[in-house]
Structure 1
Amino acid sequence: MTTPLVFIDGDQGTTGLQIHQRLRHRTDLQLLRLDPRFRKDPQHRAEAINACDIAILCLPDDAAREAVASIHNPSVRVIDASSAHRTTPGWTYGFAEMGAGQAQAIARAKRVSNPGCYPTGAIGLLRPLLQARLLPADYPVSINAVSGYSGKGRAGVDEYEGENAVQAPAFQVYGLGLTHKHVAEIAQHSGLVHRPLFVPAYGAFRQGIVLTIPLQLHLLGAGVTGQTLHACLTEHYAGQPPVQVMPLADSKALTLLDPQVMNDTDDLRLMVFEHGQQVLLAAVFDNLGKGAAGAAVQNLDLMIKQLP
């Protein structure tokens, strides 16, 4: 196999910088970089995309669609880190641990859509339970999540670290119109038949996510308990090191969840809490790791193995 040529379109953004830092010292691939003068020039970007083996798009949605439309070289493969193609037919969803055969599908795919940060936690918790029919597909799911401000991209970093940082709030809930772009992605890839109620927020910390999903056991099937749900998650992710299901005894000993505890890792930690007829599903991970750059590099490594 020849050394693959990888082009990161948008390598100056939050996710693009992270991916570049992870790849720049690797000797099993080559990075194609544009002269800074041409980073926003459509012609030079199109030439670079068509010259590479794998393009990683770290762009706004519309720009990502334009980049894909500019590809005329049939051998070019794409990893799109935007939300432009996450529910688009023909694109492979880049969550390798999501189900049996998903990693192999990513490895063979021409077009891979990197999961969103919040959907990584939500789908990671919901999909195994829905597939096992422990959670009804029409369950009225509510999702609450808090991310570090880097989840807002460079604008969020500037808001909290720039010259006007003193004005930034310590905590802000957003998506109040209940039309957040991640909702359709979560519903489609988890297997829900109704849109979940999703309430996202930013905190005054740079990176990390804590996401929780409350469940009422009396709305589930007879005999379903927190232990049943935990056993399902444990079995689903057995042998998949990036996803850790915390033992029930360890989660029971917790008194709080720190959204930053998984920072600087590419792991996803899942937990189940239970009291009486109520269960709380929880996920903690780095929004820049498993929630973005880490997943993109994981998908890249899978795809490289399939290059001629």
Structure 2
Amino acid sequence: MALTLFIDGAAGTTGLEIAERLAGRYEFTLIVLDEAERKDTAARRDALNAADIAILCLPDDAAREAVQLIDPAQGTRVIDASSAHRTAPGWTYGFPELVGRDTVAAARRLSNPGCYPTGFLALIAPLVRCGLLPADWPYTVNAVSGYSGGGKALIARFQAEPELAFRTYGLDLAHKHRAEMKLHAALAHHVIFAPSVVRAFRGMLVEVPLHLGAMPGGVTADRLRSALHDCYAGSPVVRVHTDSHLAELTLAENAVGTDGMELFVFGNKGGWHARLVARLDNLGKGAAGAAIQSLNLMAGLPEETGLRL
């Protein structure tokens, strides 16, 4: 029997991407509200409580409100694509490769990871967990993303201002992603997070530079790469590149969407300096693709079903 889904916020960027991935899927039946009902609280409440699984593609405050509209007795399971519950007690973090596929499959309340934290955590969390990198190191994250990650307002700005090629932000050093990165990598300190947006619709590069020679343990770039390769062995979504001699990594202005993620480890001669880089689609593994991956597991399906890999 098909599971019933409701996407609250289906008209937003992430909601549309999720709906595209669900098109033609026989395992799910969508509850769809018409234009007049989309912002009607009573209609949304009915839809949320009628669904087996609700996917929230809303601003943070609206996502919290939506959760309050759900009657616990109805048993609706939730995937929240906002940042409202990424560090909240009682919520499962929707990163199967890190928290475990069985944990995601059993979740009642699941929070979709942020796009930038997805790249950072994929690189750092396993290496801290296995003891190759220290939890008390002051990590720095440099990242660039396509402008679709900023939602409709930023998309409109980039499309209306052809001279706008690069935008850096988070200059107050207090970006909300920092708490998510610290918690789920089990770090002692907040990271220094330097996010930017470039003139590409989708895609992102997330980089963590490391001065390995200043760290205890004598770890090299080769050991980090090998450990990541072992961590993600067999994953249909995450690929760790073994080639450490690439001349460059690029983002294309009109790239085709993907739900996979690539990880790279580059080191200097001797391996004492390293650059760890994740390349992913901010609308794929960074948003809609991650939600579908978790949805598949919650529905008892192979995690890669319907993904663009």
Q: Deviations over 1:17-52 (max 9, x none)?
A: 000111121111100000111101111111110110
Distance 1:103 1:70 in 2: 28
Residue 36 (str. 1) matches residue 35 (str. 2)? yes
1:66 aligns with 2:61: no
Counterpart residue type for residue 201 of structure 1: S
2:247 aligns with 255
Q: Which residue of 2 aligns with 1:125?
A: 123
3-state SS of paired residue (2:162): helix
Q: Report 1:115-154 matches (<5 A).
A: 115-154=113-152
The answer to whether the 8 A contact 1:260-1:285 is kept is no
Q: TM-score, normalised by structure 1?
A: 0.93
Give runs of aligned pairs for residues 1-308 of structure 1, distance below 5 A: 2-74=1-73, 75-99=75-99, 102-161=100-159, 164-166=160-162, 169-247=164-242, 250-252=243-245, 254-260=246-252, 263-276=256-269, 277-305=272-300
Work out the CA distance in 1 between the residues paired with 2:72 and 2:289: 27
Following the alignment from structure 1 to structure 2, what is the Cα–Cα distance between the partners of residues 260 and 26?
A: 29
Which residue identity does 1:126 align to in structure 2? I
Q: CA deviation at 1:260?
A: 4.2
Per-residue CA distance 1:123-177 (angstroms, 9 max, x = gap): 000011101111111111000000000010111211122xx3335x200110000
Cα deviations by residue, 1:183-230 (Å, 9 ceiling, x for unpaired): 000110011110000000000110000011000012222331001111
Amino acid at match of 1:129: L
Query: Which runs of no fewer than 5 residues in structure 2 stay unpaired?
Result: 302-309
SS in 1 for 2:244: helix
SS at match of 2:49: helix
| 221 and 260 in structure 1: CA distance in 2 versus 1, 3 angstrom threshold | farther
| CA deviation string 1:242-261 (max 9, x = no partner) | 110000xx231x11111349
Alignment coverage as a number of residue pairs? 297
1:121–1:211 Cα contact (<8 Å) kept: yes
Q: Distance in 2 between matches of 1:263 and 1:190?
A: 30
1:89 alignment partner AA: P
**20-29 or 110-119: bigger deviation:** 20-29
Tell me the TM-score normalised to structure 2 length: 0.93
Q: Which amino acid letter does the alignment assign opposite residue 31 of structure 2?
A: L
Q: For 1:8, what is the secondary structure of its paired residue?
A: strand
Structure 1 residue 263: Cα displacement: 4.5
CA–CA distance in structure 2, aligned partners of residues 270 and 52 of structure 1: 36
1: CA distance, partners of 2:98 / 2:251: 22
Native 8 Å contact 2:200 2:251 kept in 1: no
Q: RMSD of the alignment, in Å?
A: 1.4
Shift of 1:73: 4.2
CA shift digits 1:247-284 (9 cap, x unpaired)? 0xx231x1111134984211110000001421000000
